[in-house]
Structure 1
């Protein structure tokens, strides 16, 4: 689903009512636990957490006008999705998350390369997401991005 919003609050107000509280809680957790330097806003028509141009002027290689993305939240047709670029770019972080997930959720992990899909809103592992958010600083993300992602 695609939402046209210019603020996080506007985005959340457009999603189905049963998802609004979940997105608000996820945003709160992410803002409280992401290391300093990431900013929150709308990018790619999703709630985004990114490295601002003030910290990384080059921006995103696919479109340098955009800040360097790191984490996104989206309300899709059948799920709320969390997109985490660090999981995609750093194998150790991916492996850690996959190993930890069963400790926090009774449901099978539904995951793509960077996308974690939550189809059952009553079983979102908030504590695990909170811990995941602490695992990578802005500087580490920039370094990984430049050495792994940007090369491709």
Structure 2
């Protein structure tokens, strides 16, 4: 009881604030101000923009300012942390060079070769106790990858 009420003791934290449209952001800020609560906006103003009108977070950052976090905890290896900072700062070439020099980038000349390599790698590392994700941009590619992955599971007697 009372958990759904904003008051002067409430701190409202909004993650991915850069994806919130101006109209919705105005509603959140208005509710927070009226209640005496505080709002903390977390996000990257250069990341994905909201689908609806306005880039409220970017405007707030430009007008009020921001604090930037530079300590990365998700990546365990130092080179990965540095590469992540490079990506965040727009140094894509340097970040890709780091991933390439650490054998984390592979490529094939043809799409068919890339698909075969992807499925072979997935099949090699498949562990039913773990979750793996294969992404594709087009639905037809998703269907094709699903069929190929399922065939590998059938070959192994899993399905």
What is the TM-score of this pair, normalised by structure 1? 0.20
Q: Which has the larger radius of gyration?
A: 2
Quick check: which one's strand share is greater? 1
Report the TM-score when normalising by structure 2.
Answer: 0.19
Q: Name the structure where helix makes up a greater proportion of residues.
A: 2
